[in-house]
Amino acid sequence: MNLMRRSLLVFFAGIVSGCARLIKPLPSAMKLALQLHGTERVVCSTAHWFVKLKRDQTYVGSATIRLRRRADELGSLTHEEWTELLHVVQALEFATFHAFGSRPANWYFEMSCLMNHAYRTRPHLALVHIHFHPRTDGIVNVLDYTFPKDERYGSERMPYTNLEVSKPVEKEVIRLMQKELVRFAELYLIPITLP
């Protein structure tokens, strides 16, 4: 079995096993370096990926994980990019669990790579990106805003509701996620660069 295929199997096996826990302990020699950002809606980045908070916060902490280089197919990802993506997802699960109580037990279904819009016009410009939708069973308050309760928790996610929050709430969501990403980095001795 070639290395890329084995990586995909390990990656998707981790997705299926899911839960709001780390899939496996990170190796001490892992080359993941997180950089926190102060730019608009960018939560963090790594050598190959960056995480941007979505405008639609139907699920608090929803973000897109975007590849830093141009690639239009998941199959074109390198082994290093797949491995780093796995660790980025682990870091996001940790951050949203500790910041908002998210328990993405079925994030296999809550994480998707939808590139349909890229094929609606010509020339096509599909870019690999992953949608990350953490799910919360309870009420989440950030500053003076109360996020709506997820009435469909435990089943498939709700359609997008275009729930945009105020800039101060958006910035606080990012700050809370970044605070937990710092804890994650400290726990696993990952180098981290602050804005």
CB 57 within 8 A of CB 43: no
Mind listing the pLDDT tens digit of every residue in the chain (195 residues)? 444 444 433 343 343 333 334 444 554 444 567 787 777 799 999 999 999 999 999 889 999 898 999 887 788 899 999 999 989 989 999 999 999 998 764 443 233 445 555 445 665 556 788 888 888 888 999 999 999 888 888 777 666 678 999 999 999 999 999 999 999 999 988 888 876
d(CA 173, CA 169): 6
CATH superfamily of 3-193: HIT-like (3.30.428.10)
Identify residue 170 by its one-letter amino acid code: E
Q: Is the separation of the CB atoms in 63 and 43 below 8 Å? A: yes
